[in-house]
Structure 1
Amino acid sequence: MVKTHRKKISVRRLVNPDGNFNVVRKGVSRFDWDDLYHALLTLSWVKLFAVVGAGYIITNVLFALMYLAAGNGIENMREGNFFDAFFFSVQTMATIGYGAMYPKTLVANILVAIEALLGLLGVSVGSGLVFARFSLPKARVMFSRVAVVAPHNGIPTLMFRVANERQSWILEAEVNVNLVTSEITEEGQEMRRFYKLPLFRNQSSLFALTWTVMHPIHESSPLNGVTLEEMVEKEMEILITITGIDQTVSENIHAHYSYIPTEILWNHKFADILSKTRDGRRSVDYSCFHDAVALE
């Protein structure tokens, strides 16, 4: 058995193994205030907490400066002491109200009222963002690190494996496979073309364990007669999209993956991962999920 490993990822690939696009966007803003909600949802947890923390600190600093500028408007606050003003702002925004410091002038009371309102809005927005992040459905679909080309019923067939890593089912799962290639038009212009690859089976009513996706390379296939060298020259890439409904949350989920030419093994087949236990139940060995065997 030959255990396969992913080769170095090409910087020219369109989709990274994590499903994100490997595209550098130029001439367009990476941030839009009109799309702030979507931008915050797409941030990582670390960046999201960093943004929320920075906003919290900056807001309290600004209100602390306003309390200082308002003069002696806070009872028991040391005159001109920034830290007293800052922590009074924290207590006001969080509606803690220890009682040691409190506003005693009209200006201070107005600032407190404004900050209390902003604090309520901030808590509402922050709670909504965290809840939305937790409730956002995500697929846990594992793709084999390589695809293989081997005969199936006498027909050369492109194959790759997918597996549902959760215990729950993915209902009405559907997989779509496309070939992306570079072509030169009659005018000499280079273009990226997408060709849909028909599959033996592209739907599964109950996707619970593993699924070997197969594309027959017959006469009408875009891969018919294509060599590895030609795939590299034309920067071909196999794009995969899987969609379905998560049984637990009843929400649509999706997963993306791609294979570049160096990740396609010719004249190989996947190692068998299905077996039976002593009591007759089916068993799946995921430790061999990515293994491939060279054909004799």
Structure 2
Amino acid sequence: MNKTHQKKILPSRLINLDGKLNIVRKGVSKFDWGDLYHTLLTLSWIKLFAVVSAGYIITNVLFAFLYLAAGDGIEKMREGSFSDAFFFSVQTMATIGYGAMYPKTLFANILVAIEALLGLLGVSMGSGLVFARFSLPKARVMFSRVAVITIHEGVPTLMFRVANERQSWILEAQVNVSLVISEITQEEVEMRKFYKLPLYRDRSSLFALTWTVMHPINENSPFYGVTLDEMLDSEMEIVVTLTGIDQTVSSNIHAYHSYIPKDILWNHRFADILSKTRDGRRSIDYNRFHDVVIVED
């Protein structure tokens, strides 16, 4: 919250076009050992591979120094050879056991037992982490690049399109649309408030193709009587969330999008994309999914 006399900051999206939050977090640590699993799940594949590789190399380097400290504890390892100690550590951690080098003292055997246990734990945790990342349900939902305001059944109506890009269905799909507005309280403090927008239809039992989400701009709508300049001044943003159950994996999926004033076209409608083939089947032209047409007064 900022006092109104403070310098006005240019508005930005709360939710980016890729569905991620556009928020800078201050005063909160980005890393927590107690939340390591979630952190690793949210890393990109490249960063995850880098973290795993770094941990793998560091662990083998540490054990290589321990094997060197064991003196003549590894049969056929050259004296003082770090490379021999390092690759013996690699073989031990992966439980390969080529047989060329092997422990021959009690201390070396204890080190091998500890490293073999760490290797088994590392493989099990790494495999579980990779599987968890692959099995995370993700929605392939397409939102129209723009929203339009046009007359529908005699009422100005806000519309945007949603499409399921997969061949399977999204069961019990539900759309929730909220309007985010910057308002000034009686204490002259700026706050961001959320208003839920009622829709003509906010549920779809079987969402397989496209869906035009519509909000009537009547006397009960926060949009009623609002001009484009007022939308810009109050930093309005339409936040959209879509949830449902993926038919294939039977897991909940989520998709997010937002529209800011520059994304809303007045007196436009979406181009028709539905047609029928010669044999009577429905056809959808996704090449025109984002196309709009000007509505003549």
Normalised to the residue count of structure 2, the TM-score between the two structures is: 0.95
The DSSP-based 3-state class of the residue aligned with 2:121 is helix
Measured in 2, the distance between the counterparts of 1:71 and 1:17 equals 59
Measured in 2, the distance between the counterparts of 1:75 and 1:231 equals 77
1:23-58 superposed Cα distances (whole Å, 9 cap, x missing partner):
000001011111111111111111111111111111
| Structure 1 residues 46-85: aligned runs within 5 Å | 46-85=46-85
**Structure 1 equivalent of residue 99 of structure 2:** 99
1:110-132 superposed Cα distances (whole Å, 9 cap, x missing partner):
11000000000000000000111
The DSSP-based 3-state class of the residue aligned with 1:68 is helix
Return the offset for 1:11: 6.5
Tell whether 2:14 aligns with 1:14.
yes
Measured in 2, the distance between the counterparts of 1:69 and 1:198 equals 71
Measured in 2, the distance between the counterparts of 1:11 and 1:121 equals 48
Gaps of 5+ in 1: 1-9
Return the structure number with greater relative CO, CA threshold 8 A, min gap 6.
1
**Structure 1 equivalent of residue 265 of structure 2:** 265
Measured in 1, the distance between the counterparts of 2:77 and 2:261 equals 69
Return the offset for 1:189: 0.4
1:126-161 superposed Cα distances (whole Å, 9 cap, x missing partner):
000011111111111000011101010010000000
Count of aligned pairs? 287
**Structure 2 equivalent of residue 283 of structure 1:** 283
Tell whether 2:26 aligns with 1:26.
yes
Measured in 2, the distance between the counterparts of 1:288 and 1:261 equals 22
Measured in 2, the distance between the counterparts of 1:229 and 1:69 equals 74
The DSSP-based 3-state class of the residue aligned with 2:64 is helix
Q: CA RMSD in A?
A: 0.9
Q: Which is worse superposed, 60-69 or 119-128?
A: 60-69
Tell whether 2:245 aligns with 1:245.
yes
Return the offset for 1:166: 0.4
Do 2:15 and 2:257's aligned partners in 1 also have CA atoms closer than 8 Å? Answer: yes
Measured in 1, the distance between the counterparts of 2:262 and 2:66 equals 61
The letter of the residue matching 1:76 is K
**Structure 2 equivalent of residue 4 of structure 1:** none
Measured in 2, the distance between the counterparts of 1:152 and 1:65 equals 75
The DSSP-based 3-state class of the residue aligned with 1:182 is strand
Measured in 2, the distance between the counterparts of 1:226 and 1:254 equals 30
1:240-278 superposed Cα distances (whole Å, 9 cap, x missing partner):
000001111111111011011111111110010001111
The DSSP-based 3-state class of the residue aligned with 2:171 is strand
Q: Which is worse superposed, 124-133 or 44-53?
A: 44-53
Do 2:245 and 2:253's aligned partners in 1 also have CA atoms closer than 8 Å? Answer: yes
Gaps of 5+ in 2: 1-9
The DSSP-based 3-state class of the residue aligned with 1:119 is helix
Measured in 1, the distance between the counterparts of 2:32 and 2:291 equals 44
Normalised to the residue count of structure 1, the TM-score between the two structures is: 0.96
The DSSP-based 3-state class of the residue aligned with 2:159 is strand
The DSSP-based 3-state class of the residue aligned with 1:287 is helix
Measured in 2, the distance between the counterparts of 1:122 and 1:231 equals 53
Measured in 2, the distance between the counterparts of 1:148 and 1:69 equals 72
Do 2:11 and 2:235's aligned partners in 1 also have CA atoms closer than 8 Å? Answer: no
| Structure 1 residues 1-296: aligned runs within 5 Å | 12-296=12-296
